[in-house]
Each structure stands twice: as C-alpha cells, then as structure tokens.
Chains A and B, each alone.
Chain A
Amino acid sequence: MAERTVDARGSFCPGPLMELISNMKSMQVGDTLELLSTDAGSAKDVPEWVHKVGHEMVDTNQDSEGTFHIKVRKAK
C-alpha cells in the first residue's frame, strides 16, 4: 500500500482539508496519507470529515514545532 505526505503547513481553513480530499481522490483503497498542517482547526476538522465519510484515522499528533501530523487511510 502506498503512502503519501501532503504538506499543507501555512494553509488556512479549509485549505488543509481540501488538499487532503483532493489527494485522496487519486489514491487507492488502503493507501495512507499524512497531512501536515499548522491550522489547529484542521486537527479537529479532518478526523470529523474522515469519520463522516467512512475513511479511517490512523494517528494524529503535534510535533514540537506546532505542526499537526494527521494520518488517514483511504477505506473506500
């Protein structure tokens, strides 16, 4: 399964979510994507969207520089 990283640092809401969705459209089921974001709202919005549409949250954390690492697996 492929892994992809999308760097959305510096992008404002809803930019990170839109970048994630745009990338996931071209991914295969089972692939994972790690979204990098400095937008605090995205740390809550992305898991909400993932749950709503039926994908899978793998992990989410914030590093020492304040960047959120949000990892999602495409489930359908």
Chain B
Amino acid sequence: MAGIFIICLNGDREHLQFAAMAASVAAVTGIDVQVFLSMNAFPHFIKGHSKEAPASGVVGKKMEEHKVPEFFTIFEQAVELGDAKIWACSMAMDVMAVTEEDLEPIVAGAMGLTKFFSDAEGAQILTF
C-alpha cells in the first residue's frame, strides 16, 4: 500500500503539532495517510483526556501564545477533509486499560504494530 504512515510517540505539543500538520496536508492532497498512536502521544486520544499537549521548548510556548490551532483540531481535519485513518496501538490501549469505546471518534480503532508495518511496506514512515 502506497502512502504516508505516521507514528506518533512523543506527547509534547511540538511533535504532535507537526505530526498533525503532516497528516492533514498529505491527506488533503490525496495521499493515503495512516497514523499510529502509541506511548505518550496516545492518551490525548482517549475521551475526556486533555487535548492540550505541553510545550517542550520555545516554539511550543510561542505556539501557545499565538493560539495556533491545537493538534487535535488539525488531526480532525485530516480525517474529515482528507480521509486519513488514525489507529490506536493495541499495546498502549492494554497498558492504559481502555477499550475502543473509550477512544475519540477520530480514531478508527485498535491496531497492532505488525499489521501497521505490514500495511506500510514500501511506503514512507515518519516518526514523531
């Protein structure tokens, strides 16, 4: 399967922001985009969890000051306008003791790493 496969691991604002930007711009340009959420990036996609990721550096802090759209909103646009698919790491779900019903609606469902890598064979993989 061609396209861009994005792995989100870091839960800070800068990483999530750029991952969302890459996902949305690629998706609305007609590129098949698949996003895999794990580690500290994952909890932001659980219902009720804060969508305000902490800044880790000066650019992240400036983004807060300038009220740059939040990463979650940009991921929503990637799904709604570009048909991107966002998947939750099944391991992270187990660790956090959540089910698919606990995930935000923009998350398509649970995904294992093996299946994700299998789908990504021959495609670009970006890790944030």
Footprint of B on A, CB under 8 Å?
11-15, 17-18, 21-22, 25, 45, 49, 52-53
Contact = CB atoms under 8 A, between A and B. Distances in A.
B24 A12 contact: no
A17 B27 CA distance: 12
Contacts of A49: 28-29
Interface of B is mostly: helix
Interface stretch (B66-74, B85-93, B97-105): B66-74
Nearest to A20: B28
Interface of A is mostly: helix
Interface of B: 21, 24-25, 28-30, 63, 66, 68-69, 74, 77, 81
A21 B25 CA distance: 11
B69 A22 contact: no
Nearest to A19: B77
Nearest to B25: A14
15 contacts: A11-B69, A12-B63, A12-B66, A12-B69, A13-B21, A14-B25, A14-B74, A18-B24, A18-B28, A18-B74, A21-B28, A22-B81, A45-B25, A52-B29, A53-B30
Given A11-B69, A14-B74, A53 B29 contact: yes
